[in-house]
Amino acid sequence: MPIRSDDVNAVELLKAKIARLEGEQAKMKKVNAYYRKYGTLHGCEELTETEKRDIELRWGRGWYKDVAFPAYELSNNNANIRRLKSRVDEIEKEALRRECADLRGDDGTEEHDGFTVVENREENRVQFIFNGKPSEGTRETLKMWGFKWAPSKGAWQRMLNSNGRYAAKMVVKAIEG
């Protein structure tokens, strides 16, 4: 099940997933080291019988006979760990940014000529609210920057994060420029 960034437990869930992936990484390295040393998986305490059988079935089909876990599995797992750690950092920075904005009394609303940009923290969205229907060019610019029309909110919106804020700045620049 995917972990949504706006979930209140997202950081804890992501850290648990990171810990699980790091455990798998350590296990794969130990199993590969064991196989390099002994040339067999028999006696390797890191693997269950089912896991040993699965690896031996792969070998039977001619896949990666010289290692239990091929290099691509280790590098993919490592990339996932780095990606999740980066995501945790981003979520924590966003939480700190929101806390600082709340302390400053910044409600995240910017008034412009003909429209308002709102950082809707409750909905976790950055929103453009227009006085009337925006022109075709403005709508195309909004779409180009990833904003979607939400009729239920009466606003063009996208997720509130650093990319969303940047996109909002660029749309404002395009509209006013």
Q: Which tens digit of pLDDT belongs to each residue from 19-54?
A: 999 999 999 999 999 999 998 898 999 999 999 999
Report the candidate in 76, 75, 124 with the shortest Cα–Cα distance to residue 98: 124
Three-class secondary structure of residue 164 per DSSP: helix
For residues 11 and 83, give the distance between their C-alpha atoms in angstroms, rounded to a whole number: 13
Question: Across the chain, what does the average pLDDT equal?
Answer: 91
What are the tokens at 130? 């227009």
Q: How confident is the model at residue 172 (pLDDT cuts 50, 70, 90)?
A: very high
Q: How confident is the model at residue 8 (pLDDT cuts 50, 70, 90)?
A: confident
- The domains of the chain are located at 10-104, 109-176
What are the tokens at 33? 């080291």
pTM more than 0.85:
no
